[in-house]
Structure 1
Amino acid sequence: MAGTTISIDTGGTFTDGFVVHNARAHSVKTLTTPHDLLVCFRAVLEAAADSIGVSVSELLESTDVVRYATTVGTNQVVERTGPRLGLLSAEPAGEAAGVGVFIDPEMVSELAEGDDAAAQSLSKIRDLLHRGARGLVLAAGPGDDGSVVAAVSETFLDNYPRHCLDTVPLLTAGAVVPDADVSRRTATALFNAYVHPSAADFLYRAEDHLRSLGYRRPLLIVHNDGGAARVARTIAAKTYNSGPMAGLLGAREIAGDYGIDTLVTVDMGGTSLDVGIVSDGVVRMLEHGLVAGVEVSLALPQLEPFGAGGGSIAWLDGDVLRVGPRSAGAHPGPACFGLGGAEPTVTDADAVLGILRPEAFLGGSMPLDVEAAHRAYQQLAEALGRSVTETAAQVRASLHRETGRQLAEQLSAWGIDPAGATMLAFGGNGPTHCAAIAAAAGIGDVLVMPYAPVFSAYGASTVDIVHRHEAPAGQAGEDDTRARLQAAVLRDMRGEGYRAEQVQIEVSSSTRDGSDYVSVEGRYPLPRASSEAPAGAGAASAARSAGIFWDGHGVLPTAIVERDALPTGFTLTGPALLDGAASTCVVPPDWTLTIDERGAARLRRIHSGENRS
């Protein structure tokens, strides 16, 4: 067992930390700083050290591993802030995948072929560089045996040596992931080239920050294929959706612990809600992922994003109330955060209704401005002809109803019966809204782990160092292919600092797009935290009660209990609010709650005719 492990996940609104120190788990949350992610990276380390009662340097001195799931690649795509790229492609500009998303059509030139391909291509490269290309992608056609790519690459390096300031990186399509499909491998190379500069700059700065504080091990980056690698061995494209993937990996651990066949993951943060599936112990993956609507060669987790988060803004579409998809995000954030937000959000509705209380939010470290939340809802309430309280309740009900409907439709499309599934709710807002969304979707069983608000950071703590290489099985003899792939895997593992005898090797075969592939995976197991967390000891403290307005019920006496004090076997019937250090778990009317032996809250819906006592 490790002395200390630190796992961090940067989301759209909050950056979360899950730290195990001296066999005790600590969860921390800080606001994400989109202008510079290093600021929130530093802040979460400081918050973790404060929760333990040591300095950051003292914490890092005892730390065996730091894992990080980051949004840097995702942000680059969403914000369209990647570098200006140039593409030499055997395909016409209008047919090359990713053009218009990762690259301007005017920055595409036709790749020459034949004996003078290198000389002709050099002229076109010069033209692309003169037009401002800060990265180049070289994409040969299906008939190229590699000679054209090799010739052009060699000529480029001869004329633009890497030690000169005027050089730019050149990436060949297929270098990231082998793929027989020309369009997909071109799109994958463009995608990787698009996110690479920002990812490299930020992740090295984050690692340098750790080293400046005395940490001597590499920073490990969680990848969207389920493994992790040090910064120097990370492929930028694999940082895309690394946070959501970490959450799914954590869910896989929970599904195994509980013996759950179908686990529906609902990750609701401040900006969005992501739905994924763990089925029979396996995270569902897309064979070819989609990035900004473009199909790429990388397998990506099967996630369906909904525009429903704590920062989702309520608005009128004519006389119809809508919630989201526009979000207040981390800045300015909901009005009750006091950071300049003025529009009515879901979190503001929770504050107006008393579901989130100013003195309890984030363990009291971030008091809420409830009056600002009321002001944000005033105009919308007047337009609806209702009170601010009634309007806030209507916003919550609208969010739950619409999100539940979307969830039920998505599960049906995936061939899943909601009635036979268990929902695992996490993220800062998952516990607050999960039961109502589950009810609207037809799910009657919800699981909320003690560390649900930082669950993706917990998921990151379960990840091992993994390197995987694959190739078409028919390229050479099967034994030769496996040997070549294993050599590549062991090379990567040497780069991580591990000898061949320390690496677990697994060889597998698969069929994709009608072609057979051989894959070799190398794994080095890392220290990880147990998914179990002790429940509170002894009897629960006396519950307070407050009158809370529940849509469809009016004002009801609502129990308010401290989440961390609840012992194993504790039960109650809603309505109730469970105050935790980083979130509030809501038990609506017609739901029951039980604290199990792992400290998890198990919420079950009461159907008509059942005993409510």
Structure 2
Amino acid sequence: MKLVGVDVGGTFTDVMYSDSVDRKVIIHKVPTTGDDPSRGVMTGILELCTRNGIDAADIDYVFHGTTIATNAVLEYRGAEAGMITTKGFRDIIHIGRHQRPQHYSIMQEIPWQDRPLVRRRHRKVVTERLAPPNGAVLVPLDEDEVRVAARELKARDVQSIAICFLFSYLNSMHEDRARAIVLEEHPDAFVTTSSSVVSQFREFERFTTAAMNAYIGPPVRNYVQQLDKALRGAGMRAELRIMRSNGGVATPATISEFPVLTLLSGPAAGVLGGAVCGALSGRRNLITFDVGGTSADIGVTNEGVFSEASARDTTIAGYPVLVPMIDIHTIGAGGGSVAYIDAGGSFHVGPRSAGSVPGPAAYARGGQEPTVTDANVVLGRLDKDNFLGGAMSLDVEGAHKVVGEIARTLGLSVDEAAAGIVTILNSNMANAIRSRTVQKGIDPRDFSLMAFGGAGPLHGAEVADMLGIPEVIVPAFPGITSALGLLASELKYDAVRTQFQVSTDLDVARLNTNFTQMERDILQQFEADRVPAGDIALRRFADARYVGQGYELRIDIGQGTIDGPAMQEAFAQFHRIHEAEYGHAFPESPIEIVNIRVTGTAPSPQLEWPRSTAGGSREKALVKVASTKFRVDGALRAFDTAFYRRADLPVGTALSGPAIILQLDATTVVPPNWSFTADPHGNLILTAGVAR
């Protein structure tokens, strides 16, 4: 089986090829083409094939992580969207909830008000009403009003329409009928219903999620169709699979209908790739640390299982999103992050990035602002002749020039300014890790830091030092670990249904009926993807809380027919999870089930990972010894540092820092008082020495 994984980042597009027959893995990187990422994707695939004598027509699958949806939201450049909603609820997506993003700020930005996904003049209301608890029709849908609304939106050149009715999560019949009418009146529109995107209570979050699906729908659908067409135009027969935020992949047809599922496409693949690499070396407790040119993504894997974000935490660019997502925290920190001094004289690094064009000054593409990459060049940590495997030469003079300008403003030496840039970035990333570990009751010292991305290995050891983490793992291909994660992903679908039931008055028959219906729906999705029934695994979950609480925790519900003892075990599990999350539990209090969920997975073709041999030696791997700068005991000092070629390192032999390890897709920095070992699975294991 021949597989290709392609991850599009802010600076580079990463490509990984795997052949299960020859046990061959090949990597390639090309600059991201921001105006049309599909051009970079195709360039990367075809260049890799041409350079390695591979017939592109023989590739079986292309797995792809895309940032199209995320960028459309972050840059506020989605489609002109409209909404048809229940009369009286036109402003739900503007009002939101009582909680503001910043409780005590009178000058805060509220995204859904400052940058509405659907402008008010494009929000239309119609007569209809369903009634809880079962979704019975209280007021019939006024179909004439729907037609009028659709015509008005079409006349205003609205490209995409979200249909959001108040109790549609209980009964979708009104939304389904309204969708059919809209398509009759406006057949070219992208039409989405809130019940099809997320059949769940909390109308503000459900409406906003549907509005976001409408907002990003046309650009994502066009991109997926364009990429699929480009693959066919290049003579490739490979099936395309797109990474979802939940850690699974889906077909182009699914993503074209529900693009909101891809909002964390690339970062989710990074968590999977980090977990795969850690498992090869027997590490199952990992903090994944994915640092690229623009951002740093942090995830936590506990005993090999990644956590899923809860309803209270799932936001993108400040907008609440009710779709399954791996719990990933992203900050604007990367190799391209720009260093600057604000109007008050404070020194900052990021979140603004120089991107790939013009990029850092060291790229010699016209960049005129100091970046983290420039600072690393000044400190001697990036070798000008061995960047991207020697494919790109760095402009050392240009890096010194831009860092020197900010150094003069600060009254520092160039080296001190460069070290300051790196320290600020490292501190920002360490604080981001604390927010996902220490602030959640997790001790980061019990985990290994899995450092990847183009810049993760550059900063991993120093960030680990700040957190007391004793071990850093750098995978075999750190710069393209997200692409590796794509090749390790599964086909995955989720279903959710609101189900208010209390433990003291449980309707077990209703639970069984609803779980069976949801499982049937998921099996139909897999059937449409031509997946054999025997390859599908189904898991059941419930979102539960103590009666009176505002948010839920997720618990497992066993397979098979649900009975009283099974639910008692599930409720006991809830008490344990609640105590682990909050430090206390109330075993005598009744528990309310809010939502039930089913997750279906089917294995995708998996990459075959070659095992390293004991070949290589320190002498063969040594490229040179040169001066680099590190801050030790508060002082910035120059050290004679060995530069090694990673492919030639001896396996199983411990070597001491300081050291710089060179390879095509990343540079690894081993500070003084750290050591490192190349293990048989291709990972570098960096180990902290004496505390400083």
TM-score (norm 2): 0.81
The aligned amino acid for 1:19 is: Y
Alignment partner, residue 108 of structure 1: 123
Give the CA deviation at 1:115.
Answer: 4.7
Alignment partner, residue 661 of structure 2: 578
Q: Which runs of 5+ in 2 are unaligned?
A: 97-111, 129-138, 501-506, 545-551, 553-591
Alignment partner, residue 490 of structure 2: 464
Alignment partner, residue 315 of structure 1: 340
Answering whether residue 242 of structure 2 is matched by residue 221 of structure 1, we say: yes
Alignment partner, residue 498 of structure 1: 531
Residue 133 (structure 1) aligned to one of 158, 164, 169: 158
Q: Which runs of 5+ in 1 are unaligned?
A: none
Alignment partner, residue 562 of structure 1: 645
Alignment partner, residue 290 of structure 1: 315
Contact persistence 1:450–1:533 (CA under 8 A) = no
Give the CA deviation at 1:485.
Answer: 3.0
Alignment partner, residue 503 of structure 2: none
Answering whether residue 217 of structure 2 is matched by residue 196 of structure 1, we say: yes
Give the CA deviation at 1:480.
Answer: 4.4
Secondary structure at the residue paired with 1:92? coil
Q: Cα 1:276–1:116, aligned 2, differ >3 Å: closer, same or farther?
A: closer
Give the CA deviation at 1:253.
Answer: 2.3
Answering whether residue 195 of structure 2 is matched by residue 169 of structure 1, we say: no
Residue 630 (structure 2) aligned to one of 550, 554, 579: 550
Mapped partners of 1:108, 1:379: distance in 2: 50
Give the CA deviation at 1:127.
Answer: 2.5
Alignment partner, residue 70 of structure 1: 66
Alignment partner, residue 27 of structure 1: 27
Q: C-alpha offsets along residues 246-294 of structure 1, whole Å, 9 cap, x if unaligned?
A: 1111223234344435311110000011111111221111132212222
Mapped partners of 1:197, 1:158: distance in 2: 18
Contact persistence 2:426–2:463 (CA under 8 A) = yes
Contact persistence 2:5–2:486 (CA under 8 A) = yes
Mapped partners of 1:443, 1:271: distance in 2: 24
Secondary structure at the residue paired with 2:437? helix
Give the CA deviation at 1:585.
Answer: 0.5
The aligned amino acid for 1:46 is: L
Mapped partners of 1:155, 1:553: distance in 2: 69
Alignment partner, residue 388 of structure 2: 362
Mapped partners of 1:168, 1:365: distance in 2: 45
Contact persistence 2:164–2:207 (CA under 8 A) = yes
Mapped partners of 2:206, 2:282: distance in 1: 38
Secondary structure at the residue paired with 2:189? coil
Aligned length: 597
Answering whether residue 348 of structure 2 is matched by residue 348 of structure 1, we say: no
Give the CA deviation at 1:488.
Answer: 2.6
Q: Cα 1:597–1:542, aligned 2, differ >3 Å: closer, same or farther?
A: closer
Mapped partners of 1:601, 1:148: distance in 2: 57
Q: Cα 1:607–1:148, aligned 2, differ >3 Å: closer, same or farther?
A: same
Alignment partner, residue 674 of structure 2: 591
Q: Cα 1:105–1:23, aligned 2, differ >3 Å: closer, same or farther?
A: same
Mapped partners of 1:483, 1:145: distance in 2: 17
Mapped partners of 1:302, 1:145: distance in 2: 30
TM-score (norm 1): 0.91
Secondary structure at the residue paired with 1:286? coil
Contact persistence 1:471–1:518 (CA under 8 A) = yes
Contact persistence 1:13–1:31 (CA under 8 A) = yes
Mapped partners of 1:553, 1:155: distance in 2: 69
Mapped partners of 2:45, 2:173: distance in 1: 49
Alignment partner, residue 584 of structure 2: none
Residue 292 (structure 2) aligned to one of 262, 265, 269: 269
The aligned amino acid for 1:81 is: R
Alignment partner, residue 203 of structure 2: 182
Alignment partner, residue 119 of structure 1: 144
Answering whether residue 229 of structure 2 is matched by residue 208 of structure 1, we say: yes
Comparing 266-275 with 292-301, greater Cα deviation is found at 292-301
Q: Cα 1:41–1:420, aligned 2, differ >3 Å: closer, same or farther?
A: same
Residue 326 (structure 1) aligned to one of 327, 352, 361: 352
Alignment partner, residue 45 of structure 2: 45
Q: Cα 1:435–1:146, aligned 2, differ >3 Å: closer, same or farther?
A: closer
Mapped partners of 1:109, 1:571: distance in 2: 67
Give the CA deviation at 1:478.
Answer: 4.7
Mapped partners of 1:296, 1:428: distance in 2: 29
Q: C-alpha offsets along residues 465-499 of structure 1, whole Å, 9 cap, x if unaligned?
A: 22333434689845544443344333322322334
Secondary structure at the residue paired with 1:142? coil
Q: Cα 1:319–1:294, aligned 2, differ >3 Å: closer, same or farther?
A: closer
Comparing 330-339 with 104-113, greater Cα deviation is found at 104-113
Secondary structure at the residue paired with 1:310? coil
Comparing 403-412 with 101-110, greater Cα deviation is found at 403-412
Mapped partners of 2:408, 2:465: distance in 1: 30
Q: Cα 1:498–1:401, aligned 2, differ >3 Å: closer, same or farther?
A: closer
Contact persistence 1:111–1:140 (CA under 8 A) = no
Comparing 204-213 with 520-529, greater Cα deviation is found at 520-529
Mapped partners of 1:433, 1:13: distance in 2: 18
Q: Cα 1:121–1:527, aligned 2, differ >3 Å: closer, same or farther?
A: closer
Alignment partner, residue 104 of structure 2: none
Alignment partner, residue 90 of structure 2: 93
Contact persistence 1:505–1:520 (CA under 8 A) = no
Secondary structure at the residue paired with 2:196? coil
Give the CA deviation at 1:51.
Answer: 4.6
Aligned sequence identity (%): 29
Mapped partners of 1:157, 1:61: distance in 2: 38
Contact persistence 2:81–2:158 (CA under 8 A) = yes
Give the CA deviation at 1:598.
Answer: 1.3
Q: Cα 1:86–1:389, aligned 2, differ >3 Å: closer, same or farther?
A: same
Residue 232 (structure 1) aligned to one of 238, 241, 253: 253
Mapped partners of 2:427, 2:184: distance in 1: 62
Secondary structure at the residue paired with 1:174? helix
Q: Cα 1:333–1:542, aligned 2, differ >3 Å: closer, same or farther?
A: closer
Q: C-alpha offsets along residues 432-490 of structure 1, whole Å, 9 cap, x if unaligned?
A: 11111111122221111111111000111101222333434689845544443344333
Contact persistence 2:192–2:214 (CA under 8 A) = yes
Give the CA deviation at 1:245.
Answer: 0.4
Secondary structure at the residue paired with 1:285? coil
